[in-house]
Amino acid sequence: MSVRKKALTSFDSVVLAAVVVDLEQYVGGRIVRIVQPSPDEIVLDIRRGQSTGRLLISIHPQWARVHLTTAGERGTLSAFAQMLRRRLDRGVLRSAHQPPFERTLTLDVGTDDGRAALIIEIMGRHSNLILVENSHVAGSLKMVPRSKSSVREVRPGAPFVPAPRDRPSPFELTPELLADILSKARVPLSRALASSVLGMGPTLAAELVFRSGLRPDESAAEHDDAAVRLWPQLQELVTIVKDRQFAPTIYADDTGATGFTPFPFRHLESIRHQSAATMSEAVDAVLTAAGSLSLLEDARGRTIAVVDAALEKNRRTEDKVAKSLVEAQEAEDLRAQGELLLAYASQVEPGAVEASIAGYNGNPLVVRLDPALSPVENAQRLFKRYGKLRDARAALQTRQQRLAADRSFLQDARAMALKATTKEDLDDINRELMDEGFLRAQKLSRTREKSAGPRTFKLAGGTVLVGRTTRENDRVTFTLASPEDVWLHARGVGGSHVVLRSEGRRPSQQLIAQAASIAAHFSQAREARQVPVDYTLRKYVRKPKGAKPGLVTYEREKTILAKPELP
């Protein structure tokens, strides 16, 4: 599974101010397209002259931001996104305004019905996107009813109330007020500054403390002169914002871009960094990838939760069926008791509650009787119970086979969800779960016009194909593979079907071992040091009639121990 990479810096009010500079080139342009890549994102295409800017607005709790981007694929439109299309399509962007040091951006849009304000609030988990018309909320990406907030209600028809402010901005600070704030703080200086001054992100606060010659992790109470030393740095920050002296910077490590700042930060000087053409470019380089990965991980988590719940339900049902099968095994005993009771009926006393007769093995057999019935009627009663249990056993065995097939399908789906690298891959898996009845019907991204196809690995001597979903497993095995290709699958666990194509040549054992490592990597056992992997020729793989996607049987297999890894 992919690992989320924590961004080095955050989207604060100063970063937003620098983004506003980027956006101003499109003031006077028309909104020509509105899409919704994910539930938390809206993208506006704004065309001015021959240039079109794509403005991404995200209210994701962790990756909330607004900036120009090159991303923004289509997705399923929410009711709010549809409203934006109706109200703002072809509207003119008249202005983009941010109150100093606030994380709120207002887009003033002129429409055929008058003016509308699209208000973007970048406030962590409280982030929101609100359409305001005639000073009232027309709609919002996230509803905030009175039951959730006694401070501020955000619902259609309600008067629009700006987000409350509980801190002074750097514009409003005085040396005395700053000294008073810091004297009461019992936390590190950077945290005290970030929590007490409006629009101050933690990284920016750490930078101001660092520039003051203080340590960001030191307590404010430890320095009587902290306010005096911080005041010039705050004034310099005010000048940078007021005069728009931004110099967007991107920070990176070996894995790629990890942070951005509106001007070079001295306390990050040791980290590899470079100038960015615009603030939007810097934010896009870091947070769009991180946000996409976060959305992917969130979607993966939801899919895994659905599969795990289905597997647990399947396990409980299999246990019950197995227990019922054990009980059904007594059917043959009942039949034998009935036959023996008929044979010895003449020796049974009338009204007896039990009869002791010789069993087929010669040992005494005690048969419980209904004293109100004759021996023959008691035998008939035993035969009737035998018939019911015999029929139940057949049904239970059929159900047990079906449950085993469900378990195999779910294990494969889980293994593939863990290895999915795109939202589209997860959507394909979710569609299969819906088709098989394990997931309630829901809206997913549009089906791809063309399948991404199996994962492909080129090896010296052959090509390895790996299924991404259970249906693609079937395609890899029965459509793309030839009868003489080698077919592989991790033994006894969920995973992808893997085919080694050696173009008619007999593959070496080393080549098979490489393919087996790939099969182990794309299986549920990928965390193990070694995984048993079965392999056989594709012509010995069969799909049972009516079997679920990805379910096969095979024969003439050999097993190899493989280390889960990619070539």
**Would the pTM of this model clear 0.75, i.e. be above it?**
no
Polymer length of the chain: 567
Cα(419)–Cα(421) distance, integer angstroms: 6
Distances (CA, A) of 319 to 315, 405, 439, 533: 6, 15, 22, 28
Domain range summary for the chain, segments of one domain joined by +: 13-163, 175-275, 451-562
Angle at 501 between CA 500 and CA 502, to 5 degrees: 110
CATH number of 13-163: 2.30.310.10
User: How large is the C-alpha radius of gyration of the chain?
Assistant: 34
* pLDDT of the chain, 567 residues: tens digit per residue: 444 445 567 899 999 999 999 999 999 999 999 999 888 999 999 999 999 999 999 998 888 999 999 876 767 788 999 999 999 999 999 999 999 999 999 999 999 888 999 999 999 889 999 999 999 999 999 998 887 877 788 999 999 999 888 889 998 999 999 998 888 888 888 899 999 999 888 999 999 999 999 888 887 777 788 899 999 999 999 999 999 999 999 998 877 788 999 999 999 999 999 999 999 999 998 887 666 666 778 888 999 999 999 999 999 999 999 988 887 777 778 888 888 888 888 888 888 888 888 888 878 888 889 999 998 998 898 888 888 888 888 888 888 989 998 999 999 999 989 988 877 888 889 988 998 888 887 655 544 445 568 999 999 889 999 999 999 999 999 999 999 999 999 999 999 999 999 877 889 999 999 999 999 999 999 889 999 999 999 999 999 988 888 999 999 999 999 999 998
Tell me which fold the domain 175-275 belongs to.
Helicase, Ruva Protein; domain 3 (1.10.8)
Indicate the SS3 state at residue 251.
strand
Are both 13-163 and 175-275 of the same fold?
no
Strand order through the sheet with 273-275: 256-261, 249-253, 273-275
Q: How is the beta sheet containing 41-48 ordered, strand by strand?
A: 65-68, 51-58, 41-48, 30-35, 92-97, 104-111, 114-121, 128-133, 136-140
